[in-house]
Amino acid sequence: MIIFSKSRLAAAGLVLAALLPLQASAGLLDDDEARRAILDLRAKVDTLARDINARLETKSDKTSALEALNRHEQTMQEIARLRGEIEVLSNALANVQKNQKDLYADIDARIKKLEPRQVNIDGQETAVAPTEQQTYEAAMATLKAGDYKAAAAALTDFVRKNPESPYAANAQYWLGNAYYVLRDHKKSIAAQQVVTSTYKDSAKAPDALLNIASNYVDMNDKKNAKKTLQQVVSKYPQSTAAKTAKDRLAALK
């Protein structure tokens, strides 16, 4: 006769109770543990089924037919309960696997967003952080839209936060141009002087000197305008800016 002790029922209750937090936080469930639990429950079902068949077939079993039937019904109920637990655990394991897959996909997407991108800046391939690229492009979009005051603020903020960025020299140069359009010649000159000193090896350095010269011309300071144009020719003789500087020097004579 099969008797389910209180300890066994308590253990079964613990299995079911343990399942609930697993469902609530499926991301913490260990796949191997869940599989082992399912295999254990299936083993119990098989054992109970074999026990039923053995007792029904064993001639030495003197228990009355009514008792055998009751025992059989109780055992079948236990099997049904255990099968229910197997189904619950199987569903929990499936949820764990799905949640883990979604989590890994999310982490992978986040990592890709942080990975540097290869971009071409003035003919040079370089790696740039996505956030830097997005911030710079947003500032440039504002400049192209003609909102020079807002563009100047955005470019100033970009250079302040990203002085070592591959975009820094360009941002500083376009900041000088924004001030030039706003007719703030002193700020324009100061901005371009940062390009010619801090970023003197950048492709924008010759053009920055040209812009400084343009500011001096607008300020009727021909002396400094000529001096600056001569610097373009002497420092960057092979540049397109040097040819432009020569033409402007000829016009200023």
Q: Which CATH architecture has domain 118-252?
A: Alpha Horseshoe (1.25)
**Cβ atoms of 236 and 206 closer than 8 Å:** yes
Quote the percentage of the chain above a pLDDT of 90: 47
100-112: per-residue pLDDT in tens?
887 777 776 666 6
pLDDT at site 54: 67
Amino acid at position 225, single letter:
A
44-60: per-residue pLDDT in tens?
777 777 776 666 565 44
Quote the percentage of the chain above a pLDDT of 70: 76
Q: What three-state secondary structure class fits 82?
A: helix
CA distance 95 to 23: 8
Q: Which of 52-66, 72-86, 118-132, 198-212 has the lowest mean pLDDT?
A: 52-66
160-216: per-residue pLDDT in tens?
999 999 999 999 999 999 999 999 999 999 999 999 999 999 999 999 999 999 999
CA distance 157 to 76: 74
Structure tokens given for 110: 């986040």
Q: Which of 27-31, 156-160, 236-240 has the lowest mean pLDDT?
A: 27-31
pLDDT at site 237: 93
| Nearest alpha-carbon partner for 144 in 185, 199, 181 | 181
H or E, element range at 74: helix 65-114
pLDDT at site 66: 65
